[in-house]
């Protein structure tokens, strides 16, 4: 590190930046040590094995539905629902492996990450890592979190950025109607119309040939199993129906914890404060845990990104106590309230943009 040394602070200079909460950081480090002692960073391998098996069973059940009952509308629709469920759940499982939260060695996590996201879903692991690690480093920080790159070209996000956009007299879209067109260009379109072509662009541009091989194995498996039953046209219809259903599931779940929260330029706050102001939770229930892949515990996930998901609920009371001590709001809400808050926040930020655009 000597080559990076610029100089030494003089004794009278502060060693901690004024934008960062020194006491909060210190107490969070104590919490981290407590979590380690409690064994909450160790995964229950049986949990993840059963989770993988339930995904594989859903995948097989989807194919069996067509093979046993034929390819008429009702079996076709049931097959699409089962396959979409398998794809969504595989999305949550690859997230676990991508965060290295299952195995004690990174090698095995990477192997299973490639298998789940590559072979079961047809997407590149390197693409997910590239985007998701940036998101965790600076969640909801404009120009640093790729998950909010839809601002300002599609949506005006956050109160501060929306007003700033209005003052600059910028209008890429009619943002005051964004809570309406969100239903057209958000949940239904992200996976089938954007991600589907961008992942191939990504692997070819960056020469990720291992990822491409895993992706090809997915498309070969889907083609070999479904084309004899549906033909090429039927397979393409099924594929895009599945991506459409999965896209709605994915967008509502992933955005319910972030879009309604604080969105701004990077304010150089301490890491804990940065995570807490950008995340909220959805109440725990067996269904909510399964439906969201335990991302209903988004606060705990962002504070402990390598923690196995089945332990989030155990650390949640400790995190809540830490937030209460420091006067930080710990938000947890019902599932459908969280969905509604996405729309409400888009409506509010769109109106703030319009007021600033017209009057400031």
Nearest to 315 by CA among 331, 333, 330, 303: 303
Whether residue 137 lies inside any domain: the answer is yes
Cα–Cα–Cα angle for 289, 294, 299, rounded to 5 degrees: 125
| Mean pLDDT on 326-333 | 96
- Percentage of residues of the chain with pLDDT beyond 70: 100
Dist CA 30 CA 161 (whole Å): 35
Determine the pLDDT at residue 199: 96
- Name the residue range of residue 46's domain: 22-359
What pLDDT digit, counting tens, does each position of 96-142 carry? 999 999 999 999 999 999 999 999 999 999 999 999 999 999 999 99
Whether residue 17 lies inside any domain: the answer is no
Residue 12 has pLDDT above 90, yes or no: no
Residue 282 has pLDDT above 90, yes or no: yes
| Cβ contacts of 215-221, under 8 Å, gap ≥ 24 | 215/118, 215/122, 215/123, 215/124, 217/118, 217/119, 218/118, 218/119, 218/120, 218/121, 218/122, 219/122, 221/119
Determine the pLDDT at residue 9: 79
Whether residue 7 lies inside any domain: the answer is no
What pLDDT digit, counting tens, does each position of 284-320 carry? 999 999 999 999 999 999 999 999 999 999 999 999 9
Whether residue 303 lies inside any domain: the answer is yes
**pLDDT averaged over the chain?**
96
Q: Which of 14-28, 30-44, 135-149, 264-278 has the lowest average pLDDT? A: 14-28
Whether residue 3 lies inside any domain: the answer is no
Whether residue 284 lies inside any domain: the answer is yes
Determine the pLDDT at residue 2: 86
- Percentage of residues of the chain with pLDDT beyond 90: 93
Determine the pLDDT at residue 13: 74
Q: Total domain count for the chain?
A: 1
Whether residue 198 lies inside any domain: the answer is yes
Residue 80 has pLDDT above 90, yes or no: yes
Task: Give the dihedral sign, CA 244/85/182/126.
Answer: negative
3-state secondary structure of 343: helix
What pLDDT digit, counting tens, does each position of 30-68 carry? 999 999 999 999 999 999 999 999 999 999 999 999 999
Determine the pLDDT at residue 57: 98
Whether residue 2 lies inside any domain: the answer is no
| 66 touches 76 (CB < 8 A) | yes
Half-sphere exposure of 131 (CA within 13 A, CB side): 14
| Mean pLDDT on 322-328 | 96
What pLDDT digit, counting tens, does each position of 154-210 carry? 999 999 999 999 999 999 999 999 999 999 999 999 999 999 999 999 999 999 999
| Mean pLDDT on 329-343 | 97
């Amino acid at each position: 590190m000597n080559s990076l040394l610029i100089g030494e602070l003089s004794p009278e200079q502060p060693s901690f930046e004024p934008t960062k909460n020194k006491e909060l950081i210190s107490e969070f480090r104590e919490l981290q040590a407590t979590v380690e002692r409690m064994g909450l960073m160790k995964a229950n391998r049986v949990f993840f094995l059963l989770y993988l098996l339930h995904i594989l069973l859903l995948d097989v059940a989807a194919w069996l539905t067509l093979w046993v009952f034929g390819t008429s509308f009702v079996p076709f629709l049931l097959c699409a629902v089962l396959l979409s469920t398998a794809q969504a759940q595989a999305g949550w499982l690859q997230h676990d492996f991508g965060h290295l939260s299952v195995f004690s060695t990174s090698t095995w996590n990477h192997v299973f990450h490639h298998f789940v996201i590559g072979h079961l879903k047809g997407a590149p692991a390197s693409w997910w890592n590239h985007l998701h690690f940036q998101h965790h480093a600076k969640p909801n920080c404009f120009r640093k979190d790729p998950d909010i790159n839809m601002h300002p070209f599609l949506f005006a996000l956050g109160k501060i950025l929306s007003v700033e956009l209005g003052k600059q007299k910028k209008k890429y879209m009619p943002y005051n109607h964004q809570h309406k067109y969100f239903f057209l260009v958000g949940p239904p379109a992200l996976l089938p119309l954007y991600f589907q072509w961008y992942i191939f662009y990504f692997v070819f541009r960056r020469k990720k040939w291992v990822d491409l091989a895993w992706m090809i194995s997915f498309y070969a498996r889907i083609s070999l199993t479904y084309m004899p039953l549906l033909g090429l046209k039927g397979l393409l219809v099924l594929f895009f129906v599945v991506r459409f259903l999965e896209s709605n599931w994915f967008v509502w779940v992933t955005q319910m914890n972030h879009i309604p929260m604080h969105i701004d330029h990077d304010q150089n706050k301490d890491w804990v404060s940065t995570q807490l102001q950008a995340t909220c939770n959805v109440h725990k229930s067996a269904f909510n845990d399964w439906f969201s892949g335990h991302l209903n515990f988004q606060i705990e996930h962002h504070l402990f990104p390598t923690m196995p998901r089945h332990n989030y609920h155990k650390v949640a009371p400790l995190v809540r106590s830490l937030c209460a001590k420091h006067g930080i709001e710990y938000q947890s809400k019902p599932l459908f309230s969280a969905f509604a808050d996405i729309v409400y926040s888009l409506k509010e930020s769109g109106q703030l943009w319009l007021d600033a655009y017209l009057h400031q």
